[in-house]
Amino acid sequence: MNPSETKTPFHSGFVALVGRPNVGKSTLMNAVLGEKISIVSAHAQTTRTKITGVWNGDRCQAVFLDTPGMHKPQSKLGEVIRQQAVDALDEVDVIVFLCACDDPLGAGDRYILKLIEGKKVPVFLVLSKIDLISKEKLMKKIIQYSQIYPFKEIIPLSAVTGDNLDEFTKMIAKYLPEGPKYFPDDMVTDQPERNIVQEIVREKLLLRTRDEVPHAIGVFAEEFKERENGKVYIRCTILVERDSQKRIIIGKNGSLLKEAGRDAREEIQRLIGAPVYLDLWVKVTRDWKNKDYVLRELGYKEHK
């Protein structure tokens, strides 16, 4: 190699995905990574913790933080969730503000933009779910949002169809500062397997329950160990707040819990590459979302 030649510098950084609940942050991160590491459902507030996903490009690495949807807290859990999203804004090199094309610009969007205001990093606007609206309506959305905030880039995309995903990652790579490789190439997330298992079980329950139940569900993997027969034994406790919610989670003759457990077990087996025995228990802990010791046990950190 000619000594005069200089090696192309490596670029890396942290990227926060922020937005109102249910605008598609988890779907976008999963699509970019090509793997599902953040749970997705039609219910708002699906993501409760800050999930880290690692994307590797050409001499660059972006560490995505899929933050919980920002909303007005109704409990201690809600306060913790909101604070995680706010704290993420001070840890990153790029902020990606997501809005769903099929949602009107609302007070929640303006609230988040107020939090972003003054941050000394590039702020992108990603208009997600473009497959749900016409090009004419999309142009009106772009004009509307560009008038209320000086976004560095505006990228309309669909994580479902893949439209403009490549453009999105190109823009991310363009704005990353020079830096080290934070994670090895084969690492997609820094989340412990136990945490991912908890989220998989919660997702399978969210997909099957009525609107009054999802926010009341907490899942804690109390045991996670390999047995002599090569099977991994996982015991999860599912927390709910009322007896009526417990009955819904279990279902008639235990049908709902069995179905959710079957789907969760299949996904967990693919994740860890070993046969799994998944043992699910439902426990009523009244007002658990406001109990500090429960929030600590579930892995949520209360903001001091």
What is the Cα–Cα distance from 199 to 212, expressed in whole angstroms? 19
Whether the pLDDT of residue 85 is over 70: the answer is: no
What is the pLDDT of the chain when averaged over all its residues?
81
Percentage of the chain beyond pLDDT 70 is 77
What is the Cα–Cα distance from 71 to 88, expressed in whole angstroms? 15
Which domains, and CATH codes, for the chain? 11-175 (3.40.50.300), 193-297 (3.30.300.20)
What is the widest separation between alpha-carbon atoms in the chain? 74
Across 128-150, average pLDDT: 93
- pLDDT grade, residue 178 (50/70/90)? very high
33-47, 159-173, 205-219, 280-294, range with the lowest pLDDT: 33-47
Strand partners, 51: 66
User: Per the structure block, which two tokens stand in for 207?
Assistant: 């997909």
Amino acid at 21: P
DSSP category for residue 121: S
Compute φ and ψ for 232, nearest 5 degrees.
-95, 120
Whether the pLDDT of residue 81 is over 90: the answer is: no
Q: What is the pLDDT of residues 40-63, one digit of tens each?
A: 444 344 333 455 788 999 999 998
